[in-house]
Amino acid sequence: MQELTHYINGAHVKGTSGRFADVYNPATGEVQAKAPLASKAELDAAVEIAAAAQPAWAATNPQRRGRVMMKFVSLLNRDMDKLAEALSREHGKTLPDAAGDVQRGLEVVEYCVGAPELLKGDYTDGAGPGIDMYSMRQPLGVSAGITPFNFPAMIPMWMFAPAIACGNAFILKPSERDPSVPLMLAELMEEAGLPKGVLQVVNGDKEAVDAILYNDTIQSVGFVGSTPIAEYIYGTGCSQGKRVQCFGGAKNHMIIMPDADLDLAADALIGAGYGAAGERCMAISVAVPVGEETADKLIEKLVPRIEKLKVGPYTSGNDVDYGPVVTSAAKENILRLVQTGVDQGAELVVDGRDFNLQGYEDGFFVGPHLFDRVTPDMEIYQKEIFGPVLSTVRAASYEEALKLAMDHEMGNGTAIFTRDGDAARDFAARVNVGMIGINVPIPVPLAYHTFGGWKKSVFGDLNQHGPDAFKFYTRTKTVTSRWPSGIKEGGEFNFKPMD
């Protein structure tokens, strides 16, 4: 069995804690590798190395740092197939979906090539008699990121690319469920010219997370995962004086108006609800058709599309729609929540509970499910299922549909499908959700905009990637300067206003 490593100071390093996590092949249920779980001492040692490497990297001018990012983009394109296969093998995603995971991270790296422009400060000459003022954006020092299993390429790059482009060193603690791609990314960053020690990958569990939170050298922490853990990391990190941004769970609604193109809406719901087996924080998990006639027609269009979905391992070809979920525990939790929906009175229109894939009986496959007549008091509505389960909540009016999205405690993303520009504009203006799609089902912004939800989907005041990332990973220093003219008039004790 393969024993994975940490990546420390430019080398693969075996774990010394004696603790390991099993890394599964989700399609077969077999353990294919074990990942070391770092102790506090191992994490602290990695931070020391990062701190020693960071000053020289910070002193490298932003243009040269941008060139490293440019070369990294080239290497990602070169190794795209290799990265996608490794990602699929550990996560279970289809190969096209895995390649998309890498691609969306790559786009953030492309944005970071522009670090020289993004790090420019402000300048005012003549702020007072002989006085100039200017601001500088300077790196924090050592930053850390704690990333989830569902995007093992994209989300690490969301964090470490801007952090490193800003001149920081970075400690990456990836998910222990699929750590191979993050290790590969660290290798590629150094092949691109990043000095050793600037990017460290430390595998681990809660012990490593707490070591990050309580390490005084680490200045900032980023996290993506479930809301309870996001709250814990945010509260603990802030109490330790760190800059923290945490992104939690989601329950994304898609409102379908009576005038919507229902074929377009149904196709969008299939991709957004069942793609990646629903293991996306931007998955549409709640369809809200407005009016009984709209709801009946939508269900009629969804059922045959869902029944045609092809579920299987990534090795079965690119026509597979989605693969297994990541662990048996995830599968059990999804099926438990499906059963609560049945028990609480929702109508299970498409029942995937008995799904069984011949030859892969031990894999973590979950069949597609479609609920109708779900109500807000049901557990399947309130909780993030993170599986191939779509719930339909019927609304009598636009205002009722809008209220559903606004009243839910999570506010990551939402969408509206309509031909009415006035309704779309009103929805975008009023809904208290961070990312809005108008006839777009998964409104994930491109890299030069920022990603972030509202309410209990986010903790912190700055979003991921885009301009916010360069604010998060730098501090502003303001300088007031005066150069003597050679005329000596004695000491002054007041700041002279301009005439």
Q: What whole-number distance in Å separates Cα of residue 138 and Cα of residue 384?
A: 38
What confidence score (pLDDT) does residue 145 get? Answer: 98
Q: Establish whether 281 is a catalytic residue.
A: yes
What confidence score (pLDDT) does residue 487 get? Answer: 59
Q: What whole-number distance in Å separates Cα of residue 103 and Cα of residue 153?
A: 9
- Taken in order of first residue, the domains within the chain and their CATH numbers are 2-248+457-479 (3.40.605.10), 252-438 (3.40.309.10)
What are the per-10-residue average pLDDT scores of the chain (499 residues)? 96 97 97 98 98 98 97 98 98 97 97 95 90 96 98 98 98 98 98 98 98 98 96 98 96 98 98 96 96 98 98 94 97 98 98 95 98 98 97 98 97 97 97 96 90 94 94 96 73 60
The answer to whether the CB of 251 falls within 8 A of the CB of 392 is no
Look up residue 250 and give its two tokens: 């989601």
- The residue from 112, 166, 246, 281 that is catalytic is 281
pLDDT tens, residue by residue, 5-46:
999 999 999 999 999 999 999 999 999 999 999 999 999 999
* This prediction's pTM: 0.94
What confidence score (pLDDT) does residue 498 get? Answer: 54
Burial-class residue 363 by CB neighbours within 10 Å (0-12, 13-18, 19+).
buried
What confidence score (pLDDT) does residue 460 get? Answer: 93
Q: What whole-number distance in Å separates Cα of residue 347 and Cα of residue 387?
A: 18
State the residue for tokens 């290798």. Answer: 187
pLDDT tens, residue by residue, 72-114:
999 999 999 999 999 999 999 999 999 999 999 999 999 999 9
Q: Which residues contact 234 (CB under 8 A, 6 or more apart)?
A: 223, 244, 246, 459, 460
What confidence score (pLDDT) does residue 130 get? Answer: 87
What confidence score (pLDDT) does residue 490 get? Answer: 61
Q: How many residues does the chain have?
A: 499
Question: Torsion angle, CA of 253/257/261/265, rounded to 10 degrees?
Answer: 10
What confidence score (pLDDT) does residue 491 get? Answer: 62
